[in-house]
Amino acid sequence: MKALGSRFAFYVGFVVGTCTLYVLLRQVRFTRNVGSVEPEAHEKSLLEMIEEENKNWKKERSALFNLNHPHHTGEDGTLADALYKSVRILCWVMTGPNNLEKKARHVKATWSRHCNIVVFISSVDDPDFPTVGLNTKEGRDQLYWKTIRAFHYVMEKHGDEADWFLKADDDTYVVVDNLRWILANHSPEDPLYFGRRFKPYVKQGYMSGGAGYVLSKEALRRFVEGFRTKVCTHTSSVEDLALGQCMEKIGVVAGDSRDTLERETFHPFVPESHLTGTFPKTFWYWNYCYYPIVQGPQCCSDLAVSFHYVDASHMYLLEYYTYHLRAFGYKYRYQPPKPSVIQDLNAPAPDKVEIGDIEEKLGAEEQEGEKKSHEHNEKLKQISA
Amino acid sequence: MMSEGSSFMKGMVLGGIFCLVMSFFENFNSGTHSEVHEHLHHHLKPLSKDELEKLSESQMSDLPLQVRVYCLIMVTPKLLVHWATANDTWSKHCDKSVFYTSESSKALEAVDLQEQDEWARLRKAIKHAYENAGDLRWFFVARPTTFAIIENLKYLVLDKDPSQPFYIGHTEKSGELDYVEYDSGIVLSYEAMRRLIEMFKDEDRCPERGHALWKTSEEKQLATCLKYSGVFAENGEDAQGKGLFNKKSVSSLISDSMGQNPADVVEACCSDMAITFAGMSPSQMQVLMYGVYRLRPYGHDFHDSLTFLPPKDSDND
């Protein structure tokens, strides 16, 4: 009996020993693998980040000057490049010291790379980021002060280096190429400003702050002049409304930024809200929009310019959707007409652009689009007259 | 008592040593093994732009007809909202899309297979699709929780001959079996379908109802049947080796990339020519529809040598 008992104990011990060692070895191997991967990846990425940035930007006078208009492998960017040269946009981004890492950094890594010049406006000077501090404090009540000072600053430092001046928040995503498409039909010497038009309080309407708005050079001149002559003052801290009231006083026209199918381009919310959301009837939005609100797919132009309340990961998502992800060979339904600036330049068409017979099929839609754009220009001429 | 205790200890020690020795051997073998497996693991890429341009006029005009896709979308009434979304979005870009359901729903049209078992249902759907294929030669199987960009699928198989067996998607390994994950969509050529349906008749190697105590997932059963008929799983990737079939959502992949590649989030994340994403909510799918087929930066053109026209009667693409 005893012999059997000890033999049995031996076998049990053998099994227990094998299993314990097996588990231990697995654990060791696992932690070794995990451990070796992580620290390496982190160090590499910091260096890579700095390298990437130095390739794309020239830091000068606390602004970022775009060195290379981002291009994609395999794409023909001639049209975009032509617009980049002829429609120079300075983007200034409203941010603060607490949001540099959370928000502004992602703006810097994504859409702002498509501006000709970028300035990050804060309450504190930061030569590394870089941000410009304009002697203000932080907080919602400082928004109009920041805006006034920001526009004065860009006029003084960069007035000759750009044609249009865009204001955006650090949670606004802007498709700068599409903004150029809209602006290319207008002259920066005309007193104009564009954005998501709201109707209350101001007769000609005013532009939503969060969705971003853009001033022509003449509009900016008049804005700065208006403060010098005290025609405009710091009337309230509601930045977009106060600015809109000033614009009306100084004769700057609130433009129609919709595309040739009358679809909005500047958006005060994220795409999901506009495309799939239904705003409750009591929501302020219904009473604010200057043009009829459309919910569902026709809410938004294919050539959307901006979205608001975009958080960090959403910035990258939108960058991926706009500039990267595509359907091979897909012929877009909406064929936007070429802006007048390009037609004047008479840029030679690259070889494979005119796929003639296919264009004929959608020719009808294009003609309609051109008709609308013509009407569009006519309307503007009437307003500014 | 003492002798038992000491026997036990002796056993434990010997067991531990035995395990260590085995693991050394395993490392030695698997070191060489994994290399061999790498080569057997197939990677399938689309034609490069240069290769496309080299194709002759007649080849180019044939291609749009050759790469027509039959979509099999496997739905259940539980997935009604996703079902409706798939119906309203990506499935419109298939040359033919058929919804196969476990039981009919009054709200949406589908082929009612009246079958609760998922593997049996998949078999029936495959047979039905093959019989009703007409002159379509490529088949895409997915659940409505997957979003597919069919034009990019066509781009991937553009130069592949559907009379050859192809079984493509995101491949995983289960022991010795390479299988395509269901969540990220399964692509089958006409020949693969034909061989599969032949194999369905073999109740031993490809049974309709499993005899085992536990159930194997349909994706693995499919892989097994295909393997027996000489069809092997291939991983669909782009020219840079990035996977085209994703079982995660776009936002999930972006978050991962933000953690792993903060310097180059978008480049490192996902392919430009991605074919599938999974695990997205219906409204996220509508946004993806807008993002793929509409939203774009003006002035950046890709002069693709092939054109796919938008589907009729649709306004979200």
Give mean pLDDT in consecutive 10-residue pieces for chain B, a chain of 317 residues: 79 86 72 44 82 77 85 95 96 97 91 92 96 96 97 95 96 95 97 96 88 80 96 95 96 97 94 97 97 97 91 92
Identify which of B265, B302, B309 has the shortest CB distance to residue A74. B302
**Interface contact A11, partner B, CB < 8 A:** yes
Cα A173 from Cα A177, distance rounded (Å): 12
Residue B2 CB coordination number (10 Å): 7
Q: How far is A146 from chain B (nearest CA, A)?
A: 30
On whether the CB atoms of residues B290 and A325 are closer than 8 A, the answer is: no
**Interface contact B308, partner A, CB < 8 A:** yes
Which residues does A299 contact at the CB level (< 8 Å), separation at least 6? A263, A264, A267, A274, A275, A293
Q: How far is B211 from chain A (nearest CA, A)?
A: 31
**Residue B80: its H or E element:** helix B80-88
The residues with which B184 forms a beta bridge, in sequence order, are none
Identify which of B3, B290, B309 has the shortest CB distance to residue A275. B290
> Cβ of B290 and A297 within 8 Å?
yes
- For residue A277, the chain B residues in CB contact (below 8 A) are 283
**Interface contact B60, partner A, CB < 8 A:** no
**Interface contact A365, partner B, CB < 8 A:** no
Dihedral-angle region of residue B14 (phi above 0 means left; psi in -120 to 50 means alpha; beta otherwise): alpha
Q: What is the 3-state secondary structure (H, E, C) of B104-116?
A: CCCCCCCEECCCC
Q: How far is B293 from chain A (nearest CA, A)?
A: 7
- B240: nearest CA partner in chain A: A73
> Is the torsion defined by CA of B40, B45, B50, B51 positive or negative?
positive
Cα A90 from Cα A103, distance rounded (Å): 19
Cα A329 from Cα A341, distance rounded (Å): 28
> Is the torsion defined by CA of A228, A231, A234, A237 positive or negative?
negative
Sheet holding B233-236: strands in order across?
A: B42-44, B233-236, B167-169, B186-189, B138-142, B69-75, B96-101, B111-112
**Residue A58: its H or E element:** strand A57-60
Residue among A273, A189, A62, A183 nearest A175 (CA): A183
Which residues between 16 and 55 in chain B have a beta carbon less than 8 angstroms from any beta carbon of chain A?
A: 16-20, 23, 49
- For residue A327, the chain B residues in CB contact (below 8 A) are 93, 149, 151-152, 292-293, 308
> Is the torsion defined by CA of A55, A58, A63, A68 positive or negative?
negative
**Interface contact A85, partner B, CB < 8 A:** no
Q: How far is B165 from chain A (nearest CA, A)?
A: 24
Cα B317 from Cα B314, distance rounded (Å): 7
The residues with which A205 forms a beta bridge, in sequence order, are none
Q: What is residue B246's predicted lDDT score, i.e. its pLDDT?
A: 97
Residue B36 CB coordination number (10 Å): 9
Residue A52 CB coordination number (10 Å): 15
On whether the CB atoms of residues B157 and B117 are closer than 8 A, the answer is: no
| Confidence (pTM) | 0.82
The residues with which B71 forms a beta bridge, in sequence order, are B97, B140
**Interface contact A287, partner B, CB < 8 A:** no
Burial class of A204 by CB neighbour count within 10 A (0 to 12, 13 to 18, 19+): middle
> Cβ of A297 and B3 within 8 Å?
no
Query: ∠ at Cα A169 (A167, A170), nearest 5°?
Result: 135
- For residue A336, the chain B residues in CB contact (below 8 A) are 298
Cα A29 from Cα A11, distance rounded (Å): 27
- A306: nearest CA partner in chain B: B295
> Cβ of A330 and B260 within 8 Å?
no
For an interface test with A, the pick among B296, B305, B306 (most A C-beta atoms closer than 10 Å) comes out as: B296
> Cβ of A81 and B250 within 8 Å?
no
Per-residue pLDDT of chain A (385 residues; tens, 9 = 90+): 556 778 888 888 888 888 888 888 877 766 555 544 444 444 555 666 666 666 667 777 778 877 767 788 789 999 999 999 999 999 999 999 999 999 999 999 999 999 999 999 999 999 999 999 988 888 888 889 999 999 999 999 999 999 999 999 999 999 999 999 999 999 999 999 999 999 999 999 999 999 999 999 999 999 999 999 999 999 999 999 999 999 999 999 999 999 999 999 999 999 999 999 888 888 999 999 999 999 999 999 999 999 999 999 999 999 999 999 999 999 999 999 999 876 665 545 444 333 333 444 444 444 444 444 444 444 444 443 3
**Interface contact A26, partner B, CB < 8 A:** no
Cα A270 from Cα A310, distance rounded (Å): 6
How is residue A330 annotated by DSSP? B
The residues with which B237 forms a beta bridge, in sequence order, are B243
A86's tokens: 């002829």
- Calculate the CA A16 to chain-centre distance: 62
- A47: nearest CA partner in chain B: B263
Q: What is residue B30's predicted lDDT score, i.e. its pLDDT?
A: 55
Cα B277 from Cα B181, distance rounded (Å): 12
Pairing mode, if any, of strands B186-189 and B167-169?
antiparallel
